[in-house]
Amino acid sequence: MKLPALASIKKHEQEGLVSVQARDNLIVCHYTNKCVYSNTWNNTTVACRGLILRLDKEWPMSTHVTEIVALPFEKFFNIGEGDRYPTGKLIETTDKMDGSLGILYRHNGRLHISTVGSFVSDQAKWATEFLNSNPKYLINNIPVNYTLLFEIIYPADRKVVDYGKLEDLILIGVRDRYSGKDFYHSDVRNIAHVLGFSTPNTTLFNNYEEACIEAKVLDANNEGWVLRFDDGKRFKVKGYEYLTLQRLINDVSWRHVIDNLEAGTLDEWISKLPDEIANEVIAMRIQAKGFIRDKLHQATSILAQAPATNDQKVFAIWLQENYAKPIRDIVFPMYKGRDVMPYLYKRLRDRDF
């Protein structure tokens, strides 16, 4: 287990690649959308998927870590994402639950649950209360070195899958925050049985290719699977129907991306999307911004070559004689000092590239 140094977390936070939320002298660290769309995956960003640390002083005045308070899963990817594929032997496959990741931590003599980037999200508050008020959970028997990892499921937090009225903390993983050990599902199931938690169902596949084939016919009310290999690595496989419905629910469309880009709300929208959908939106943003950048650069270059005149008619004749209408419709308003961005966004909406 190699955790990132505090100095590295600070550096990545300053670069906008990691977000840090503080609570007293605790911090919870999570990779950002900038990290996702810039594909800046390294030891620090991969580890910061809800990592909770206790510091010598309150953030950001702290200089060193005094305790690993909670050790969640490292970031893991969809099979094929960024050309990543398993190399180990498939050991286990568990159903991927469609809720919010909850991370158990201890603070001020009480058990709490955080989500990946927040101590105080609605899901974190609900899960903390549910954990501490439910007598079926034998929380006093949880070993102090264990970080329990849950899927938080309750109706108000529905994503895509309809779990009806189910309210549950489903134990999906256990890590030893001292040694770094990441327990396999058979051990997680045994721990869950002792402590009163439920666990995901398992599915038998001989290899990841079988899971990828099965994902094509999986119904929309099942998200997919988490596959674990003998090298300890995890990969996700999501059902095609689930992903299609997820896009519809989140209104992932070219026009909606352009509307948010023009309104300046795209980053806020992306922050609420699952990584898989966020990656698609980010790719559309890159394409849209590339179009705007290229057209503005082209228009600026034309203006730099234009004859020196304040006569709009002379300039318009020169422009018409030398350039096609699509670029003229950008250059001439710029020549007159007008804002061309609404026109560029209109062309983007119409896919007039």
Tokens of 72: 């969640």
> Which of 293, 268, 291, 270 minimizes the C-alpha distance to 282?
270
Measured distance CA(217)–CA(234) in Å, rounded: 22
3-state secondary structure of 252: coil
Using 50, 70 and 90 to split pLDDT, how confident is the model at 353?
A: confident
38 pLDDT exceeds 90?
no
Measured distance CA(38)–CA(282) in Å, rounded: 9
Write down the domain spans for the chain: 1-70, 254-349
C-alpha dist (Å) from residue 262 to 256, 271, 350: 10, 17, 14
305 pLDDT exceeds 70?
yes
> Which of 245, 313, 300, 254 minimizes the C-alpha distance to 276?
245
Whole-number pLDDT of residue 276: 81
> Which of 315, 254, 263 minimizes the C-alpha distance to 288?
254
> Left (φ > 0), alpha (ψ -120 to 50) or beta: where does 182 sit?
beta
Other beta carbons less than 10 A from residue 238's beta carbon = 20
Tokens of 254: 């070219």
Q: Please answer whether residues 77 and 236 qualify as being in contact, where contact means their C-beta atoms are separated by less than 8 angstroms.
A: yes
Residues 120-171: tens digit of each pLDDT: 999 999 999 999 999 999 999 999 999 999 999 999 999 999 999 999 999 9
Whole-number pLDDT of residue 271: 83
Residues 254-294: tens digit of each pLDDT: 999 999 999 999 988 988 888 888 888 999 999 999 999 99
Residues 195-235: tens digit of each pLDDT: 999 999 999 999 999 999 999 999 999 999 999 999 999 99
With a pLDDT cut of 70, the percent of the chain lying above it is 100
Give all strands of the β-sheet with 146-153 in edge-to-edge order: 110-114, 100-107, 146-153, 168-176
Q: What angle do CA 38, 79, 190 make, to 5 degrees?
A: 115
> Left (φ > 0), alpha (ψ -120 to 50) or beta: where does 52 sit?
beta
1 pLDDT exceeds 70?
no
Residues 59-105: tens digit of each pLDDT: 999 999 999 999 999 999 999 998 999 999 999 999 999 999 999 99
Measured distance CA(22)–CA(69) in Å, rounded: 13
